[in-house]
């Protein structure tokens, strides 16, 4: 490990390339959400959007030329992965903060609880997690209203 940590927040047009890098370098815990988000991003059009912003955004940290950490936003869910030898050194926090600042993300996203320590990590950065009941209640309410609207529209379409 060197002290030459470099942070890269790629342009939207390069998200698919860096997603493949994250996948190739196993910047995820197998069976957890990041792997699924990587594969969904690689399987969809690169210009896919979610509420007027790109569906997928990525940020990477490198030690020299070796990718060591990733922050990934898919739709409204954010996830961060840091390789074990680099954890608890501030790399994930700096990458997450640079990512949020670069993309001017204020709210509208949620971090899923991951490994032990991930909830305090996100809460320290002011990001709601699935442990945040108030935020989840609002999210469920919005989702429920959206579902009702879609069902209603579907029934009207069936009658026509």
| Greatest extent of the chain over all pairs of C-alpha atoms, in Å | 66
Q: Using an 8 Å Cβ cutoff, are 122 and 129 in contact?
A: yes
C-alpha 96/C-alpha 45 separation (Å) is: 25
From first to last of its 160 residues, the chain has per-residue pLDDT tens of: 446 899 998 887 888 888 899 999 998 887 777 777 788 878 766 555 554 456 778 899 999 999 999 998 887 788 899 999 999 899 999 999 898 888 777 666 777 666 667 888 888 888 877 665 555 566 566 666 666 666 666 666 666 6
Which tokens in the block code for residue 160?
């026509």
pLDDT in tens, 41-56: 787 665 555 544 567 7
Q: What is the pTM of this model?
A: 0.71
Give the CATH class of 5-129: alpha beta
- B/e letters for 109-137, b = 16+ CB within 10 Å, e = fewer, are bbbbebeeebbebbeeeebbbbebeeeee
- Say which residue the tokens 């699924």 belong to: 36
- B/e letters for 17-35, b = 16+ CB within 10 Å, e = fewer, are ebbebbbeeebbeeeebbb
Q: Is 96 exposed, middle or buried (0-12, 13-18, 19+ CB in 10 A)?
A: buried
Which tokens in the block code for residue 159?
């009658």
């Amino acid at each position: 490990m060197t002290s030459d940590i470099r942070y890269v927040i790629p342009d939207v047009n390069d998200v698919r390339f860096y997603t493949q890098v994250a996948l190739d370098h196993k910047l995820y815990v197998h069976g957890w959400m990041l792997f699924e988000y990587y594969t969904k991003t690689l399987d969809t059009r690169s210009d896919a959007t979610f509420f007027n912003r790109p569906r997928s955004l990525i940020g990477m940290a490198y030690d020299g030329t070796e990718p060591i950490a990733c922050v990934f936003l898919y739709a409204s869910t954010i996830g961060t992965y840091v390789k074990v030898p680099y954890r608890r050194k501030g790399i994930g926090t700096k990458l997450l903060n640079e990512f949020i600042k670069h993309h001017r993300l204020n709210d509208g996203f949620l971090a899923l609880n991951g490994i032990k320590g991930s909830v305090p990590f996100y809460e320290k950065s002011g990001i709601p997690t699935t442990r945040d009941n108030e935020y989840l209640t609002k999210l469920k309410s919005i989702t429920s209203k959206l579902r009702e609207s879609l069902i209603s529209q579907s029934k009207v379409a069936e009658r026509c």
